[in-house]
Every structure is written in C-alpha cells, then in structure tokens.
Chains A and B, each alone.
Chain A
Amino acid sequence: MRKILLLIVCLSFAVAGRGASSQCSDEVFLRRAYLTVTGSLPSAQASASFLDDENPKKRERLVSRLLNSELGFKYMQMRWGDILRIKSEFPSNLWPNGVQAYNRWIYEQLMNNVPYDQMVRNLLLCEGSNFRSPAVNFYRAFQQRTPENFYQNINLLFLGNRYCTDNGFYCFSQVQFKSTKEWKEEIIYLDYHKKIPAMRIILQDGTQLFPKQDGDWREEYVAWLTSPNNRRFAEVMVNRMWYWVFGRGIVHEPDDWRADNKPSDPQLLARLTDYFIKNNFDMRKLMKRILLSKEFGSEAAPAGFYEPQRLPAEVIVDALASVTGIWNTYSSRVPEPFTFYPPRTRATHLGDATVSSTELELFGKVSRDVSLEGQRNNAITSRQLLYLMNSSVLEQRIRRSGAIKKICEQNLTVEQLADAITLRVLSRRATAREKSNYKEYMEKNGLSLRDLALDMVWMQINSNEFLYNH
C-alpha cells in the first residue's frame, strides 16, 4: 500500500515536470521561510541549529513555529496594513491613536487566527468609536467618505474587482460620522432614519438584496460577500496569499480579476480554494499548505519554480539592522500626539506609512495611498545599489557594530570567520571555495582579520543572495 502511494507521489512529481531533484537546500528553505513568514532573517544561532537538525520533519516544524510566532503575526499585520492603507496622515488621515488601535485590532485577529470570513465581517459590520471599536477605521480611511468609495474599496479588497458597476453601495449608505470632544475621536454610526432606496439592489452576479428599513443594510451585502457559496471571495484570498508568498498571483495582478485575466493554473487555484473553504477560511492553515507545497520548496528559477524576489524595503532595512545589531530609531513628531517608537522597533512593525526614513524611502516603502498590491515597487535602482556600495552611514554602522567586532575578537581562523559572518548575513555557512577565496583575498591585499571581516560583510550585503529572497 505504502509503495503504491510512493509511486503515486513520484508520478505526480514527474507529471508536474518538477522532479524531487529540484528541491531547494535546507539553507535556502530556512532563509526563504523566515523572510516569507516573518520578514526577518534568522539569527546565526537559529540558522546553525536548523541546519544541524537531523529530524526529517524539520521543515514542517520550522514553518509551524514561524506561523505561530509574534514575528509572523506582525509581518502579516504589515501586509494587511498596506492594503487597508493604515496611515496617520494624508491621504488616509487616521491619526496616530486611530492607527495604533487599528493595528492592534488586526494583530489580535491574526494572532487568534480569526477565520477570514469572520474577520471580514468584523471589519465591515462595526460601529462605534475609532479608539474603542478600532475596525471602524476602515470607514475613516477615505479622503471622500462616500458609500460609493467604501463599496469600490470593498470590491477591490475582497473580490479583486477594480471596476464595479452594480449598485450594492446602497448597503453602505447608512454609515455616518460624528466627532466627540476627544482629540481625533470619531463615532461611526448608522443612520436608521435613512429611507431604503427605491431602486432595487442587484449585484454583479444577479443576486438581489433586500435590506430592511430598521436594520443594518450592510448585513445583507456582507452575508452575501462572505458566504462559502461566493467562491470568488475565497479565491481572491487564496490568490492573495499565493501572491504574498511568491510575489506573483495565480491570477495576476492579484487585485485585477476580470474575465479576460485568466489564472495561470486553474486547477491549483481550485484545489487551494476547496481546501480553504473546507477548513473554514483558516488563513494560517492555508499559508502552511502553501509553504509546504513543492512549489515553495523548489529550487530557484530557472531550475525550479520559485522566482527570486527582491526583499521589500522594510525587510532590507531590518536585515541591515540585524546584521550590524544597530537599529534605527523611528518617531513621528507630527501629527500630534508625537509618536516615539521604542528602541529596536523593526521597520516591518511600524504600522504607519507616515513614519519613514531615508532608507525606507530609498528602497520603496509603500506609502499606502491605494489598496493595490502593485503599489509596492521592488525594482532595483542605481541609487539603492549606490547606498549599499558606498554609503558612509552604512559603513559606519558596520564599523561600529559590536556584534561584528565580537566575532573578530575571538581569534578565529579565516575559515571560522567566514562561517560566522556568512551565517549572520546569509543564514548559511561559507563554502569551501569561498573560504579559500577569502584566504587568498586576505593575503593578496595584506589585510588584518578585522579588515577582512568588514570587507566580507560589505560584499555579502551587496550580493544578490542578500538582496533577494531566492
């Protein structure tokens, strides 16, 4: 029986054309999983212990651990923050207190692994103060707070619809705003005196909705939207998750679903969607399944399926901080109240697109102006390379790094130094060839071990291997 199963597995690999031989190495898998799930590099220690672990299930165990870690929740929170446009200032204008409450709310939804359909219901069917009922910030994050704009955004986020022409927006026309005496507090409430529109509400698929005069009209729409029968709702999330992992959707762009924009692999999309619905919209399970897929575990293209992706701005900035052990400090002095982030706050955890730095701008931090995934621009520019090649600020950080200094003070051989640095920067050990190259380089240029270490760090953070998730 087992043999037959094995045979089937082997056959299915062969059919897919991506044989077992194109599985990526443990080194690559470790780094890829960390960067994808947590947006951070593994510590040198974590790398070494994973690489030395001989448990055959270590990949699955790693993935589970990361998916259930705070770093994992926080990185997922950043992705949601991008598309929900969480930002203190223009154009979302949520203001710092609202931003903090909203972020906390999302964090808790993710930490508790609230099923996707429930999370969307929680988000869309809320009322109350933006501080006390943080999900209402969804309705605040618009320059023009009109039912049409809410509806367009809901269509874009949850149905991948860039252009909606039906009149479902009527369901959101009760939403009203009033301020309190608290600075920047706002109450979102429903106007129950509003008369039901005379026009019939008919959605794109022909569904007719019948909101009741004394009810919350949003409920009719949201019930339709989040129903397991509305397959598109699940598909869009599945596809978005795939996009978050691979940088390319099965339907691409992930927020542009049209009849003439076909999925590249309809069976794959159908399989994952079935799985997602069957598991009651469990987002963590969905991500786990994707992370343990042969696609994610494959070698980098062109040998395998996995297309290398340049690291997002926040991840690069954090990675440079973790390599040197010197972290940026972030603050937002305006708008009031001023926000000072605790030391060692990660750029991926800022939660507010208003808070930025020169480096984050340089590498293309998302400004959260629109809810499109494509707003993130990860193209490599000459100025980014210039910064890595020759920034005196960065060079100073490498030179002042206590962690790198400590490595140099341990009386290591060139080989040991190479391993220590490479584990720290690239999450793997140095190869034999690299070690001999370093040795030759050191002798040829008459360098001290410390100079060699500095050059090594410089070279590795300039390499493609560092800049890309590969």
Chain B
Amino acid sequence: MRKIYLTLVLLLAFSLSVSAQRAKSVILVYLDGGPSQTETFDPKPNTSRDYYGNYKGVAKTNVEGIEIGEKLPLLATMADKYSLIRSMTHGSNAHETGHYAMITGDATGGAVVYPSYGAVISYMKRDSYKGILPCYISVTSANSRFNEGGFLGNEYKSFDTGGRPEKPEYEVEGIVNKFVDRDALNRRMALLEQFETLPMDKQEIDSLRAINMEFIWGASREVFNLANEPDSVRQRYGMTRLGQSCLTARRLVEAGVPFVNVRTTGWDTHKKHFQYMNNMLPGLDKALSALIADLDARGLLDSTIILCGGEFGRTPKVMWEAPWNGGRGHFGAAFSYLVAGGGFVGGKVLGKTSKTGEKVVERPVYPCDLIGTVYMLMGIDPYGTLPHVSMGELPILPSLLNPKQSNGLLYEIIDIKKADYEK
C-alpha cells in the first residue's frame, strides 16, 4: 500500500516537472585546456594581426549575420542547427577553478565541493533511468582535476570507457578484453565461485557480478562496437580520437544514456597556437558537424543537448613575444560555447564581446546560467536541492541565486518562455 502511495506521489511530482523537459540526453564535447574563442565561435576579423593572428578570414554561415572561424567550414553550413554563446564569463584564469566552474556551475569560493553536472544528472535520473549502461559516461576519460562526484560521492562519478575508439579495436575498459573470450571468463567465474570462502556481502557481490556479465556480453557491448557503423559514417566523423568519440556518443545517446562527456585534450595552446589550430580545428569541425547532422537526421537532435566548449577561452591578444612566439594565454573573462538541440533553438547568437574581444559587452552568461538551463531542459529543477551527507539539503546551483554570479537562465535561446516556467 505504501509503495503504491509512493509511486503516486512520484508520478505526481514527475508530471508537474515534465512540462519543461525537452531533452533526454546531453553530449558535452569538452575541449580541455581552454579553446580559443577567436579561432572558433567569436572571430575578430576587423582588428589587427595582434588579435586575429594568422586567421584574418572568417567562415560565413548559412544564417545571415553569423560568422565563425575560417577553419570551421563544415559547421558554417549548419548554423541554423545551433546557437552560439559569445559572452560566457567566470573571470578565472586557472585551469582547476575554470574546470570547476564550467563543470559544476558553482562559482568557487564556498566551502562545499559541488558535483559535476554529469554526476548531478546521474543522481537525479537514478530511479527513472533503467538502462544497463551507466548513466554518465566519459569517452574516453573524465577530467580528474577535482572530485567529479563532489558531495554526491563515487556512485555518481562518470564511467570512463578508456581505450581508443579510433583504433580497429576499441577496448572499452571492463567490457572489451581481447585477451579473454566468453568461455575463458565463464571458466574463471566458475573457479571463483568454487574458491570464494569469505561470506562478506556475498549476495550483493554475486548480483553485481551477474549484472556485469550481462553488461559485458549483452546488447550494450555492441553499442561500443563501432564496426557496426557503415564506413561512410565513420569517415564523416573523421577517423580521429575526437571523431570516433563523437560517434560513440551518438550511439550511446541512441541507447538512452543520459549524459555523455566527450573530452578531448590539447587545447592549452600557450605556444605554437596557430600551428595547433591548423591541426586541430579541421578535426573538431568534422566531428562536431557530423554529430549535429547525424543526430538531426535520426530525429534525435530535438531530445539531445549538445554543448561544446572548455574551461575558459584564450587571450584575444596574441603573444608574439618569446617564449610564446605566437601563443594565447588563459582567458576566463569572455569566451564562447556552442549549444544545440534538446530545447536549444538554432541560428542565434547570445551575448557579445567588445571589438577586440577582451570584455563582455552584452548579456554576460555565467556558468550556472548555462548549466541551470541544461538542468531545466533535462526536467531537473535548477532551483531544487541536492542532499549533502552532513549539511542536509543544499541548492543544486547556489550561484543561480546570487546576482553577482548569475544573469538568469538562457530563455533567449531555448523554446521555453520565462513566463511559462518561472511563475
């Protein structure tokens, strides 16, 4: 009887909050190290070489008035599918605090270490998500600069796939093990069963092992088997780590996984910035444009949020002097994010930076504004709470309530009206 009552209450709670839910999944393409906004989503062609560096040109997009970096021609053909935030800001120029701000939405300074938004979503979906794949997956590994799980604990940290999706054999940690086939694992399990003498948590451990056997050999294994994709599709994403990681992300989202973190490193370009950009931007262009187009073609873009950006941007002014010799430093005052799908509208630009890009001049967007909007689109109340083991219920995004750390949810670029949501 009590169970039925509980179910009713849960259902009721669910039906009240469901109205704002647009998305079932999030794919975060995280450019670790801090990508340059000037070469990506906020070009500054009308300045001087001290700012635009080696890239004077721009790519005109298919949306009137929106221009992006010249090395992103494929993304330029589909600006109607995504929007750009050009006024991201948190003011921190250190990697760890930048990561913390962009991955938790909490402005640093408090005594409490918040969980990443992947962990929060994983916690919030713990009952409703029924898949055998973990709720929060990192392809191929999560950032370990701070505690991913925050005060929610280990259980909600991401599952790191490890391995190399761009190689012929994508060895997903714990799932694909080329040394041990099914018979060998079964044989070993039988030996273990015979040997296990200590009774601690036996029932629980046995059931966890049984779940793992299904995870290893069941349908989810095939999700990671990129050989199941036509070669043309794989080529479209690019046979790079990033490209095949994005393809993996699409397959995971198809399988219902709520949060996929595609983390790619190498964006901390203090030196040889333009050489790096020459090498890296085509790969990003290919992978991200293929991901957006593919999800769209499969009818999944409406229910999948795509985010692309890093922990901060890079100094708008090029450091030509030694030892940088054409590099860009850390820059947290003004940088860009790309957002698409899952309730985000396409073809818009939110916020604006100054002529040289050194300041936000219109509509600052703080980390919690973006992450709060993601929560809302995922059907999670951005003004709700999370349980802290010793402090009780804490706000899910404390910065959202602080006018110095928030400028409001991003109603300008989503298909929900403020008046409808915040009554």
Contact = CB atoms under 8 A, between A and B. Distances in A.
Given A396-B179, A459-B195, A464-B200, A389 B153 contact: no
Contact of B390 (A300, A372, A391): A372
Nearest to B151: A369
Interface in B175-214: 175-180, 185, 187-188, 191-192, 194-202, 204-205, 208-209, 211-212
A334 B173 contact: no
Contact of A380 (B94, B145, B148, B208): B208
Nearest to B193: A459
B55 to A, nearest CB: 27
B109 A459 contact: no
Nearest to B217: A390
Given A90-B108, A149-B111, A381-B155, A387 B195 contact: no
A393 B162 contact: yes
B96 A334 contact: yes
A55 B154 CA distance: 44
A358 B192 CA distance: 25
Interface string A128-148: 000000000000000110000
B297 interface: no
Interface residues of B, number: 61
A354 B145 contact: yes
Contacts of B148: 361
Interface in A174-221: none
Most B CB within 10 A of own CB, among A91, A441, A462? A91
Interface in A369-423: 369-370, 372, 374, 377, 379-383, 385-387, 389-393, 395-396, 399
B155 A389 contact: no
Contacts of B215: 382, 386
B82 interface: no
A32 B154 CA distance: 26
A19 interface: no
A441 B204 contact: no
A463 B195 contact: yes
Given A358-B160, A380-B208, A383-B159, A462 B96 contact: no
A402 to B, nearest CB: 17
A390 B185 contact: yes
Given A335-B94, A379-B154, A389-B209, 17 more contacts: A90-B97, A90-B100, A90-B145, A143-B110, A334-B96, A335-B95, A335-B96, A374-B389, A382-B215, A383-B159, A386-B174, A386-B215, A390-B180, A395-B179, A396-B179, A445-B187, A464-B202
Interface of B: 94-97, 100, 108-111, 113, 134, 141-142, 144-148, 150-151, 153-155, 157, 159-160, 162-163, 171, 173-180, 185, 187-188, 191-192, 194-202, 204-205, 208-209, 211-212, 215-216, 389-390
